[in-house]
Amino acid sequence: MAAVMNVVKRTLNISIARGENADGNPVSKSYVYSNIKPDAEPDKVLAVGKALGGLFDNDMTGLAVTERSTLTEE
């Protein structure tokens, strides 16, 4: 039997620079956008992430996608 993973939920995480702390280390804030279509193409998710990141006053420092999948046997 083969194992099959099916993506059931995706979230888009955008990190925005917020400055530095007292020690001079960079500080960022993450914004999470839920309900990303499980079958959305990576190029489109990236384009949306860049567009949303461009709406903030500070620079975007990262984009990440978190997926939740089910695991079944066939």
Question: Which residue in 29, 22, 19 sits closest to 62, CA to CA?
Answer: 29
pTM value is: 0.80
Give the count of domains, the chain.
1
Instruction: Write the pLDDT tens digit of every residue in 8-50.
Output: 999 999 999 999 999 999 999 999 999 999 889 999 999 999 9
**Sign for the pseudo-dihedral over CA of 20, 29, 42, 54:** negative
CA 47 to chain centre: 12
| Band (1; pLDDT cuts 50, 70, 90) | confident
> Residue 30: its pLDDT value, please?
96
Expressed as residue numbers, the domain containing 24 is: 3-73
Q: How many CB atoms lie within 10 A of CB 30?
A: 11
